[in-house]
Amino acid sequence: MSSDREHAGHALVTLRSRVDAHFEAAVARSPGQFACRAGCFDCCRAGLSVFAIEADRIRGALARLPEDVRAQVRVQAAEEDRKHCALLVDGRCSVYDERPILCRSHGLAVRPDAAQPEFDHCPLNYTSETPPAASMLVLDAVNRPLSVMAAMWGGERVAIAELAAG
């Protein structure tokens, strides 16, 4: 692995940890406002793609799955009218520990950048209160470093369904 790829790989682990910690802190601030839980997959939509750096981790996770689960993922990837991510098996992410940043941030209140007051969030969350400012994930603060890591890693974006089918 080249030095750039090593640095990018380590940086991705750090960024994922920070997004996970941000999510945990948001839930701790507003515990009754999150519907996110095992088995909730409303945000796990078909048609998403990831950078190659994350795709490589997903490929590795798929290779470690039991063959019957891997076969189910392949079958789901081939379904043309699929509404949800092909990586879902029995309502749960089959590669949860290696899920991409996009999936780690679903459910959080997000805003494009720190200067914009507009935000969005899952309609199942924050049904009776406005998300605290500290709980909002600034997408630009995540997407910029992820884009740099992706450039260091090389490769194009990869459809999650393509990974699942592989």
Instruction: Identify any residues that bridge with 84 across adjacent strands, giving them in sequence order.
Output: 45
Which tokens belong to 26? 């948001």
- pLDDT value at residue 39: 84
Domain that holds residue 147: 3-165
In angstroms, rounded to a whole number, what is the distance separating the alpha carbons of residues 41 and 104? 12
Number of domains in the chain: 1
User: What residue ranges of the chain have pLDDT lower than 70?
Assistant: 1-2
Residues 15 and 142: beta-carbon distance below 8 Å: yes
- pLDDT value at residue 74: 97
- pLDDT value at residue 162: 96
- pLDDT value at residue 1: 53
Residues 106 and 79: beta-carbon distance below 8 Å: no
- pLDDT value at residue 7: 94
- pLDDT value at residue 60: 97
Instruction: Identify any residues that bridge with 89 across adjacent strands, giving them in sequence order.
Output: 92
- pLDDT value at residue 116: 87
